[in-house]
Amino acid sequence: MSLFEYEAPVVGLREQKKHQTRLDLCRAARRSVLERGLDATTVEDVAKAVGVSPRTFFNYYETKLDAVVGPVGEIGTPSARAQFTAGGPTGSLIEDLAQLYAAGFDAEVLEDISQVSEIVRTEPRVLAGLVAAGAKHESAVAELLGARVGDVLAPEFASLTAALMSTLTMRAAMAVGQHPDRPLTAALHDYCAMAARLFAPTPAHETTDHRRRG
């Protein structure tokens, strides 16, 4: 089934707005930490920068550190997640994972990668928060995979999938940072293909050439 033959489930406007607010709060928190540091950043300042109340902030994040770390439990966008769990857009698990992860990276998110790199150099607590958030990410991946295949998956499979896709997506995003005119989906597709080569049988001629050189 091709992407054009697949009709993605409709995701409500409310869910899309919540997704955007969560990202806006994250980006505002990161900008504040870069400018003032984590200790001088307040929930009130972050909420004001986005135009919401501190009470609304706590509907999305428990602490300002959580906001800086970001919505790690969210993979892709609401519509992309709905499409993935329904078996789309292509029917190939690795291809659909690539499109799901790429859907969560727009121009602003790509810029965030450099911001986070700068933050963790001066704020070890943020790095610790990112490491601790890995469990949430694995749980989200396990939930999405389970919803898609309808089977009980081994925790190790979800953990491996989360680690692999995070690494490939980060590498692809860094490549796009050097070549902004290239879509992230295309770059991520190439990195997935490179990873697949690790498990591909070695062609006979390569084995023969290697033995000759040896």
Model pTM score: 0.63
Q: What is the pLDDT of residues 116-169, one digit of tens each?
A: 778 888 888 888 887 777 777 888 898 999 999 877 788 889 889 988 988 888
Ordered by start, the domain boundaries in the chain are 9-71, 78-199
Comparing 199 with 35, the larger pLDDT belongs to 35
Structure tokens that stand for 89 in this block:
């857009």
Contact 1, 40 (CB under 8 A): no
Tokens 């519509």 identify what position?
79
What fold, for 9-71?
Answer: Arc Repressor Mutant, subunit A (1.10.10)
Q: What is the pLDDT of residues 93-111, one digit of tens each?
A: 999 999 898 887 655 555 6
Reading phi first (left if > 0) and then psi (alpha if -120 to 50, else beta), residue 179 is in beta
* 78-199 carries CATH number 3.40.50.970: no
